Amino acid sequence: MKNLKVIAFDADDTLWGNEMYFDETEKKFCGLMEDYLSHQGISSELFQIEIANLKLYGYGIKGYILSMIEAAMKISNNTISIEAIEKIVQYGKDLLEKPVDLLDGVTETLEALSGKYKLVVATKGDLLDQRRKLHNSSLGPYFHHIEVMSDKQEIDYLDLIKRLEIQPNEFYMIGNSLKSDVLPVLSIGGYAAHIPFHTTWAHEKIDHKVEHPKFTTLQQLTDIIPLLI
């Protein structure tokens, strides 16, 4: 790893908590719609609609709000009340106003790596929301570049690496998603580390073990420091 120049961090559930807020909101939504279907059935319908809508709305809270409204209409056979839709919209607004709580070891890790590598954020989600969270986190000064990506496929990482004017083997990605933060980076020749979070969106889960010479699993974020310094 002597050639490394850029260390990239996912944001949600890597730098700060995020998925648990979606889990809380989904529970509220299931409670709102429980007269029509079981909680498991509601969650399943919502997930299917979310995935179908990704190509239209992309990732982020605004698309999630629209998917909840669509799911409510489908589950209720278009009998959902205006009051219920207003509640769903408020669920989304509440999500957008959640506090930004840094995860353990984030500041220590960035402080240790800053000045030794270019540090960047490479995250999916809504541009405005992610910039808000980065601002509220006070982590902005550590980062050379902020990339809010529409997706995290191989081509997306290659585009990012081109903009950073480096080669894939000079790039190290750290994140909580094996599917989005690890596998595509390894595929293009970069390095990747997985830092598990206690809850993961079903869309980001994979069903096989990752074994690769350029891959490592971290128990905590600070574990990366002795590997890179």
Output the domain CATH number for residue 168.
Answer: 3.40.50.1000
- What confidence tens digit (pLDDT) does each residue in 5-62 have? 999 999 999 999 998 999 999 999 999 999 999 999 999 999 999 999 999 999 899 9
User: Do 108 and 87 share a structural domain?
Assistant: no
Looking at the chain, the whole-number percentage of residues with pLDDT higher than 70 is 96
- What confidence tens digit (pLDDT) does each residue in 69-121 have? 999 999 999 999 999 999 999 999 999 999 999 999 999 999 999 999 999 99
2: which 2 tokens?
A: 């002597």
Give the domain range for residue 91. Answer: 19-96
Alpha-carbon span 67 to 52, nearest angstrom: 9
pLDDT-based confidence at 197, cuts 50/70/90? confident
Q: Which of 96, 118, 140 is the last residue of a domain?
A: 96
Looking at the chain, the whole-number percentage of residues with pLDDT higher than 90 is 89
User: Do 190 and 107 share a structural domain?
Assistant: yes
For residue 1, tell me if it sits in a domain.
Answer: no
Q: What is the CATH number of the domain that holds 85?
A: 1.10.150.240
User: Do 214 and 112 share a structural domain?
Assistant: yes
Residue 142 is predicted with a pLDDT of 98
User: Do 107 and 61 share a structural domain?
Assistant: no
How many structural domains does the chain have?
A: 2
Q: Got the DSSP string for 109-176?
A: HHHHHBTTBEEEEEEES-HHHHHHHHHHHT-GGG-SEEEEES--SHHHHHHHHHHHT--GGGEEEEES
- What is the distance, to the nearest Å, from the Cα of residue 197 to the centroid of all Cα atoms in its chain? 11
User: Do 204 and 138 share a structural domain?
Assistant: yes
User: Do 220 and 163 share a structural domain?
Assistant: yes
